[in-house]
Every structure is written in structure tokens, then in C-alpha cells.
A = this chain, B = another copy of it.
Amino acid sequence: MSKGLPKRSEDYSQWYNELVKRADLAENSAVRGCMVIKPYGYSIWEKMQQQLDKMFKDTGHSNAYFPLFIPKSYLSKEASHVEGFAKECAVVTHYRLKNDEDGKGVIVDPDAKLEEELIVRPTSETVIWSTYRNWVQSYRDLPLKVNQWANVVRWEMRTRLFLRTAEFLWQEGHTAHATRKEAEEETELMMNIYGQFAEEYMGVPVVKGIKTANERFAGAEETYCIEAMMQDGKALQAGTSHFLGQNFAKAFDVKFATKEGGLEHVWGTSWGVSTRLMGALIMAHSDDNGLVLPPKLAPIQVVIVPIFRSEEELLAVEEKAHEVMDELKPLGISVHFDHRDTHKPGWKFAEYELKGVPLRIAMGPRDLANNTIEIARRDTLTKEMVNLGEVNIGSYITAKLDEIQESIYQKALQFREEKTTPVETWEEFQEVLEGKGGFVSAHWDGTSETEEKIKELTKATIRCIPLDQVKEAGKCILTGNPSSGRVLFAKAY
């Protein structure tokens, strides 16, 4: 199965593309830029969704559903919003096909033209805020804390599976509050929830920070983000949370009667993560043998591969395997017994390595005689023999899964720390970017001009102004002008 998977060191980009396809995660569809998420890939996304959904609900959010289509005029109501999205909108102009009279088959019926064109949502602020106008009258109606799981479309010219696709799946939270303070707290809360999810579930360490004006969401006053580091030293924005101020409330006239009898515009936030997280997950941990999945998001946490030469041997192993499974399943461990006789054990080992199953148990007739099993760890590719008479297999596997979860996080963290370099000069800056790559922590004079100039010269962008750092004055690496603190630069996905 993994035969011919390119090596990361030789062609990281090709390694990623091939891995996504061979591990049955996703593939390109016939529609330019749109992907098919295959069952195995989708089952990982489902685990992500379940956990995120729980975290949203635990913090008082409810799910709802808003229309796929947005009238063109809505998009235009918030000036910087339309500016940000107009260039990548799929537009519905007609609502019927018909048979061509010249026998060319089916054509778009010119008589079925929409009065106003509809945009396939690239994000839903406009359609949601136009709805909130009717939902909010008084302070008693606030806060509104709504999330939706949906598909969105941004007509990207260059696409890559999971990382950048014309259609993608995501969740988008949209909240409305009575005060600036409450909306700001919500914005930060959601960034923290994303950070917690990335680190505790995906095993991917992230830097939390604020975007510069250039990289801010179109229509936001402030964009918070979590930034992750991939194995090739490039950064990946894994989630964003936007403080919208009163921008959308003003664009859509959403006001509320205050407790004190006044009438004010509400304060808004929006926040989202998408199937892009799948890309981050894959690129953060996987190796030349295939996927490495964190146990908390692995659809199959433990696979049992029987070693047998006859039906009789299979039956004997199967009986023992079921004993083990009966210990594991009540603990909530997802375990799969692969009894197929169409494939050899070696083929199966390679397949489960490719698919990133955290633990593989092999057992054959000799193991039955010795009451042992062989347990192989996917992340370290190490094996050990375990005597079932000596350990409680449930506790053993639980501890091992926890250990893997922690270990891949630590490994990624260590990698990121090694790939984070503070620099003081422009020469150093260029050298690090072209050499080891990664995050470069540097002083910047705070202007968009300098930011753009640096991007032009090096392809590096400011990933964020990290929240968790000591403010320190310095001089901009490019202009030498005063800087009030360091920012993180990197080349990015």
C-alpha cells in the first residue's frame, strides 16, 4: 500500500497529495477545485465535529441553519466585506435547464433568469445579520449565540485537497451581544476553544495571536487566530475568531432596546474552523509510512491483525481477539478485528500504518500458546510483547493511547520550538526564511506598507502578533523604524 509514497524530505508537497489519496482521505472530483471526502477521511472529520460541537454547546451555543444562497445586494451592504469576497464568488443566475431546439442536448433556459443573482455563500455574515434584525429587539433577546455546520464556496484558482478547495465544509459561529466587552470576551473565548481543540485533540500546538490589518477578516475590527507549524516549516492558519464591532449590525440595522431605555446597535463576533483542519492534522504528524493520527481523533484506535495459516488457527485467534475486544470496548476504545483472508498480515500492517491507526495488535498461534500479544505503536514504529497474564489489557491500552496522544503533541511542540527563531536584522531574517524556515520572530514597524514590502521580497507574511509574549520595544527589521513588539513571520499555506 505505502509502496511509492514519496518521501517528505524529497518532495513534501507530493508526499502530502499522495498520502491524502492513498490513505483514502479525499480525492479531487470532476468539478474543478471541489473534493470528494472519502469515508475514512470523513470519519476523522466526524470525530472533529463531534468534539467541537460539544465544546460549542458546553459554552452555551446552539446550532441552526441559514440559506446557501445570498442575494447579491446583501453582500454589498458591508463595504469591506464585499471587497474581500467579490473576486471568488460562485454566482447562480438561472433556475432551469431545457432541451436545446438545435439538438445540442440540455442547455440553460435563457427565459429562467433570476431577477437578482444569488451568491453561493462564501461565509454567512450577511444572510445571518439580515435575519438577526428580526430576532433582536430588546436586551432580553441577547446574547444570541448560534453556530452552523455548513458548506461554503470560494472560487479559488489554485486548490489543494483539504488545504484550499473551492467548496469546503466548516462551522461558522455568529453571535450578537449587548456590549463591546461581552463580544470581545466571546471572540477570545472561541479562539481559546479552538486552541484547546487543536492542542488537546489534534495534538497540534498553536500560537494564539491577533492578525494585522492586512490579514484581518473582511468586515472585522479584529481577527484572532491560531497558527500551527507544519513539518516543512510552513505555517498554517488553523482557525479564526473575529470581533466584528458594530459593523454588521450597522450594515443590517440590528438594534436593541437597552435596559435603560435607549436604542443601540448590537456587537458581533464570528468564528470558524473548516476541513482545512484535516490538512493540518495530516501534515503535523504523519511520516513517510503514512498517516499518524492522535488517538482522540482516530476512527479506529486499535486494530487486531490475526496471524494464521488455516481456518482453524483463525478461529482460535479470533476467540482470543474477542476476549481482548470485550475488555476494550466497554472503555470506549474503538477496536477493529481484521479477519479478512484476502490479504496477508504484512499487507495489513502496511495498510494500517498508512491509515494511521495508533495501535496494532498482532496475534498468532504461538501467542496463544504463550498468552502474549504483540503491540505496535504507529507513531514510534516500535513493538513490544505483552503477556496477557501479567497486565490488565484495558488499562494497558488506555495508558498507551494517552501516552501516544501526549507524545505526538510534545514532538510537534518541540519541532515548532526548534523552528521558531528570533532575529534582529534583515540579513538574519532572510537567511532563516530561506534556510531552516519556520516562524521568524521579528520587530516590525506596524505599517501595512512594510508588511507588504516584506511579503513581496520574501513571500513571508505576518502570521500573527502573539498574545503570549512580553512586550519589548525594538527596531523594524526592514525599515529600522521603532517597533513596540515582535510579530511572527512565516511562509504559509
Per-position binary interface string of chain A over residues 59-102, scored 1 when its CB falls under 8 Å from any chain B CB and 0 otherwise: 00011111111111111100000100011111111111111000
Per-position binary interface string of chain A over residues 29-51, scored 1 when its CB falls under 8 Å from any chain B CB and 0 otherwise: 11100111111011101100000
A130 at the interface (CB under 8 A from B): yes
A153 at the interface (CB under 8 A from B): yes
Q: In angstroms, how far is the closest chain B Cβ from the Cβ of A323?
A: 23
* Chain B, Cβ-Cβ closest to A34: B67
Residue from the list B65, B99, B118, B167 in contact with A42, Cβ < 8 A: B65
A37 B62 Cβ-Cβ under 8 A:
no
Residues of B close to A140: CB separation below 8 A: 342
Distance between Cα atoms of A131 and B27 in the complex (Å): 10
Q: Known: A75-B97, A106-B82. Is A42-B64 also a contact (CB below 8 A)?
A: yes
A108 B96 Cβ-Cβ under 8 A:
no
Q: In angstroms, how far is the closest chain B Cβ from the Cβ of A84?
A: 11
A146 at the interface (CB under 8 A from B): yes
Residue from the list B66, B73, B90, B99 in contact with A92, Cβ < 8 A: B90
Residues of B close to A117: CB separation below 8 A: 108
Residues of B close to A88: CB separation below 8 A: 95-96
Q: Known: A87-B97, A91-B97, A92-B90. Is A167-B67 also a contact (CB below 8 A)?
A: yes
Residues of B close to A167: CB separation below 8 A: 67-69
Interface residues on A, range: 35 or more
B98 A90 Cβ-Cβ under 8 A:
no
A17 at the interface (CB under 8 A from B): no
Residues of B close to A410: CB separation below 8 A: none
Q: Known: A62-B43, A65-B169. Is A95-B31 also a contact (CB below 8 A)?
A: no
* Chain B, Cβ-Cβ closest to A35: B67
How often does this chain occur in the complex, in copies? 2
A389 at the interface (CB under 8 A from B): no
Residues of B close to A134: CB separation below 8 A: 27
B130 A30 Cβ-Cβ under 8 A:
yes
Distance between Cα atoms of A34 and B150 in the complex (Å): 15
Per-position binary interface string of chain A over residues 323-347, scored 1 when its CB falls under 8 Å from any chain B CB and 0 otherwise: 0000000000000000000100000
A349 at the interface (CB under 8 A from B): no
Q: Known: A30-B71, A72-B97, A167-B69. Is A63-B46 also a contact (CB below 8 A)?
A: yes
Residues of B close to A99: CB separation below 8 A: 86
* Chain B, Cβ-Cβ closest to A53: B46
**Chain A residues at the B interface, C-beta cutoff of 8 Å:** 27, 29-31, 34-39, 41-43, 45-46, 62-76, 82, 86-99, 105-106, 108, 117-120, 127, 130-131, 134, 140, 146, 150-151, 153, 155, 167, 169, 342
Sample of 26 A–B contacts (CB below 8 Å): A27-B131, A29-B66, A29-B131, A30-B130, A31-B70, A34-B68, A36-B65, A37-B64, A39-B62, A39-B64, A39-B146, A41-B64, A42-B62, A43-B62, A45-B65, A68-B167, A72-B97, A72-B108, A75-B106, A82-B97, A86-B98, A86-B106, A90-B92, A92-B92, A93-B108, A140-B342
Beyond A35-B67, A90-B92, 15 additional contacts (C-beta under 8 Å) are: A30-B74, A30-B130, A31-B67, A68-B120, A69-B90, A73-B105, A87-B97, A87-B98, A89-B96, A90-B95, A91-B93, A91-B108, A97-B119, A120-B120, A150-B151
